[in-house]
Amino acid sequence: MKLRQAKYSDKAQFRQLWDMCFTDSMNFRDWFFKNRFIPAYSVCMEEDGKIVSEAQSIPYNVKIRDAVLYGTMMVGACTHPEYTRRGYMKEIYKYYMNCMYKAGVAVCVHTPAVLRTYFYVGHYPVSDTCFIETEKSSGIKCPEYKEIDMVQEESFIMELYMKAASKYSGIIYRSLADMRLKCADYMADGGKCIGIYDAQDTLKAYAVYYETEDMVYAEEVMADSDEMWQGITEAVINLGKGKKVTVKLPPDCKAEVEGTEKTTVPRNVCGIANVSAVLKAVGKGLHNTILVTDEIIEENNGVFDLCGNKTDRKPQIEMPVYRLCQWIYGYRSLEEMAENDEIKVNDMEAMRILDEKLPKVPCHIVDEY
């Protein structure tokens, strides 16, 4: 048994595991492995001379509060069906997180099919997602919308995405290259896009969606105002007339549509690969002290100030790394976690100050790969 970083020559075996474990369309898998297989950010386990378990990831810039950090989004973690229930995935994730620490990565985000799957490696929820759904759309009155060519309009989609993303913590901070690849990702699997424009022909809202004979699913929806969030949600509901419709939205979206069900659920998780780097970027130069414990990455253990430095001073607050992640993102407050006995507070005034300086903020992650 051997854990190691992936090599380009592993692509065929990685693809074979995907074909066994996932149900994505063949077009998407072909496109993904041509454009998204990045060995330096992927790891695998070999046994009996073949790759039996793997985890891939994509490097991204991740916006946490007002800082932009070097991060990754994990995708495609799977184990050969004949080698399951041997604890390989835990070993894969431990190895992966340590590789990312050595590579200088600060945070690793992903969207598990089942959230609790990765709690045992310290990857806990850091954002919620809102869903507006109807089992069968009757069609509704909505603003005028147009089909968007994602190739020709990629820069305008990106401009709106970045404007809308500015209010969220945890979101991928896209470059134009990121936007181009993301649009190509969607189109490889049959994704289409609609948009709402103002009188000056400025894009004000868009929705990337998939459509089948009986369903419309809006995967990425962004808008620049509450009015436009409402309008683009209505547009998707109307687009799916006669079909089941699901619209995926940020957790603070105020859109409401009569005859639909609206739910908000935890959706994305994150693991901190480098505590020092995260605190240095997000900690506002504060000198309060936190004792962090991490069962995965040895270097993340110890007492840190919020400048990211290790210190011999006594900790004012003690917490496991996954609670630090939830708080530093802005997803949960220290007070909430203290009330649930999830952290230990040695200085109540320090907790109050830290929650004031780093309060809860809207958290949202659009990307799922």
Q: Tell me the C-alpha distance between 120 and 116, whole Å.
A: 8
| Interaxial angle between packed helices 26-35 and 176-188, expressed in degrees from 0 to 180 and rounded to the nearest 10 | 150
Residue 104 φ/ψ region, left for φ over 0, alpha for ψ in the -120 to 50 degree band, beta for the rest: left
Residue 88 pLDDT: 87
**Tens of each residue's pLDDT in the chain, 369 residues:** 899 999 999 999 999 999 999 888 899 999 999 999 999 999 999 998 899 999 999 999 999 999 999 999 999 899 999 888 888 888 999 999 999 999 999 999 999 888 888 888 889 999 999 999 999 999 999 999 999 999 999 999 999 999 999 999 999 999 999 999 999 999 999 999 999 999 999 999 999 999 999 999 999 999 999 999 999 999 999 999 999 999 999 999 999 999 999 999 999 999 999 999 999 999 999 999 999 999 999 999 999 999 999 999 999 999 999 999 999 999 999 999 999 999 999 999 999 999 999 999 999 999 988
Residue 296 pLDDT: 95
Residue 369 pLDDT: 84
Long-range (24+ apart) CB contacts under 8 A made by 308-311 are 308/275, 308/276, 308/277, 308/278, 308/279, 308/280, 308/281, 308/283, 309/276, 310/276
Residue 23 pLDDT: 87
Long-range (24+ apart) CB contacts under 8 A made by 113-120 are 115/266, 115/267, 115/269, 118/93, 118/269, 118/271, 119/322, 120/90
Please state whether beta strands 261-272 and 192-197 pair in parallel, antiparallel, or not at all (unpaired): unpaired
Residue 84 pLDDT: 85
- Domains in the chain and their CATH numbers? 2-125 (3.40.630.30), 130-267 (3.40.630.30), 272-357 (3.30.1050.10)
On whether the CB atoms of residues 269 and 112 are closer than 8 A, the answer is yes
What H or E segment, with its residue span, contains residue 289?
A: strand 289-293
Residue 360 pLDDT: 97
Give backbone dihedrals phi and psi of 26, rounded to 5 degrees, phi first.
-60, -40
Residue 112 pLDDT: 87
CB-neighbour burial class of residue 139 (10 A; exposed 0-12, middle 13-18, buried 19+): exposed
Q: Tell me the C-alpha distance between 145 and 110, whole Å.
A: 32
List strand residue ranges (DSSP E) for 144-260, in order.
Answer: 146-147, 192-197, 203-211, 215-223, 244-249
Residue 348 pLDDT: 97
Residue 197 pLDDT: 97
